[in-house]
Amino acid sequence: MKDKVILITGANKGIGKSLSLRFSKLGVNIVLLGRDEESLDALYDEITETSSAKPLIVKCDLNDLDSLGAKQIKDEIMNAYGKLDGVIHNAARLGKMSSIEDYEEDVWKEVFNTNFHSAFILSKELLPLLKIAPNGRIIFTSSGVAEVGKAYWGAYAASKFAVKGLAEIMRDELDSTTNIKVFNFDPGKTRTSMRASAYPAENPNDLKQPEELFEHYLWFFSEDSQLSVQHYFKFKN
């Protein structure tokens, strides 16, 4: 993994932060994409103080990302590293737990922009870099509510259904024509701020820590995963 370059969206908290720290300790240069500058700066400092990795901060609100912004991100990566080995689409917004009848249109659009449209725009723009990587990887983040529609999960569930479709389409397009592997991973019940918002009555001590997911993500970047015919993976809680 040493000297690989991986972009992680939502890198400044939760699962994204945990992955950024753990991969950095293996010598991976992480492109830290997030919207909160203060927490990104703190994470950058922690990485540079505890590892030899050379992270790059990209401050970006994925709700506002367009093709020009994605090109600027690609240019920043090329200027800093000259390559890209993988993308982990981790960032997401929960939005509102509400019936469809009561769901506000602006919140719906914001959730879809962050969870789905930004993943499409970034993947599309970064594909040329991943195609020239020895073993490019794109990892989408799924959810149990993308398997069966559930009442009151609104835009979050619908956007995760869309992400599932995007991942399957890209896998079908890329699997036999490039070295890129596309995975869709459901991390399951994990102690994050989003989980706490969705399940406020749940005891957080009953949930696994984000650090417990690392070995799965590490496998996605391994040589063994190149032989995988599976696309969708789910953490067994």
By annotation, the residues acting in catalysis are 156
Query: Burial letters for 53-88: b for 16+ Cβ neighbours within 10 Å, e otherwise?
Result: bbbbbbebebbebeeebbeebbeebeeebebbbbbb
Contacts of 176 (CB under 8 A, 6+ apart): none
- Whether the CB-CB separation of 117 and 162 falls below 8 Å is answered with no
Q: Tell me the C-alpha distance between 138 and 60, whole Å.
A: 19
Listed residue (192, 210, 209) closest to 18, CA to CA: 210
Sheet containing 86-89: order of strands: 56-59, 29-34, 5-9, 86-89, 137-141, 181-186, 232-234
Q: How many CB atoms lie within 10 A of CB 102?
A: 9
